């Protein structure tokens, strides 16, 4: 496929050029009061999801683009506008969360919470819940449903050219072993 992403250099430079580790950490430290803890938590989840060796380059590219948009001083809705300022950033991060959800595991969430506590003080991450859901033990049938939903998402990513057939097949084998 001609639209496959093999390296960070293949990412559309519009917002990816704004992404760097230094600019990411500067933004995280500077927006707690205005953006709020939930958006920072989600941005950190994306950041740590990129460390997953199974995360395909196409998904990493989407994460970098979303985080680049979050960092960029040029937004559709400027960040300094009260209430609305971060809604466009939240939309970009939300879209990347959907794309990367299979790579945001408990370890990624733990790292994000630990970083929040490290930056903003111990206990800051207390009370953060993922998508408002209460922690439950998943039943076997819900595990099967999740695996099937993940497989459907992977197929959509394959069809979009965000992942390769090899990446799809590897993840499919992993998901099928859970069913």
Q: What are the pLDDT digits (tens) for 58-71?
A: 999 999 998 988 88
Q: CB within 8 A of 88, min separation 6: which ones?
A: 69, 75, 76, 77
Q: How many helical (H) and strand (E) elements, i.e. helices and strands, does the chain have?
A: 9, 0
- The pLDDT assigned to 81 comes to 46
Confidence of residue 97 (pLDDT cuts 50, 70, 90): very high
Model confidence at 4, pLDDT cuts 50, 70, 90, reads low
Is residue 125 predicted with pLDDT exceeding 80? Answer: yes
Q: pLDDT tens, 15-43?
A: 567 778 887 777 777 665 556 788 889 99
Every domain of the chain and the residues it spans: 8-130, 136-179
- N-terminal to C-terminal alpha carbon distance within the chain: 31
Alpha helical stretches, state H, the chain: 13-16, 21-30, 32-35, 37-49, 57-71, 87-100, 106-120, 140-160, 165-178
By the 8 A CB rule, do 79 and 86 touch?
yes
Cα separation of 173 and 76, whole Å?
41
Question: Distance of alpha carbon 66 from its chain centroid, rounded?
Answer: 8
Burial zone of 13 (CB within 10 Å; 0-12 exposed, 13-18 middle, 19+ buried): exposed
Mean pLDDT for the chain? Answer: 76
pLDDT tens per residue, range 156-166: 888 888 888 88
């Amino acid at each position: 496929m001609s639209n496959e992403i093999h390296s960070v250099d293949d990412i559309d430079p519009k917002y990816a050029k704004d992404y760097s580790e230094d600019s990411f950490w500067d933004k995280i430290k500077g927006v707690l009061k205005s953006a709020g803890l939930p958006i920072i938590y989600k941005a950190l989840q994306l950041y740590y999801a990129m460390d997953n060796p199974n995360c395909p380059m196409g998904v990493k590219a989407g994460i970098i683009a979303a985080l680049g948009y979050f960092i960029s001083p040029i937004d559709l809705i400027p960040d300094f506008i009260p209430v609305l300022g971060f809604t466009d950033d939240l939309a970009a991060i939300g879209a990347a969360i959907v794309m990367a959800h299979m790579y945001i595991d408990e370890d990624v969430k733990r790292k994000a919470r630990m970083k929040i506590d490290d930056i903003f003080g111990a206990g800051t991450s207390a009370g953060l819940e993922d998508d408002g859901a209460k922690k439950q033990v998943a039943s076997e049938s819900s595990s099967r449903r999740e695996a099937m939903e993940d497989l459907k998402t992977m197929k959509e990513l394959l069809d979009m050219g965000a992942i390769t057939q090899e990446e799809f097949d590897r993840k499919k084998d992993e998901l099928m072993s859970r069913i």
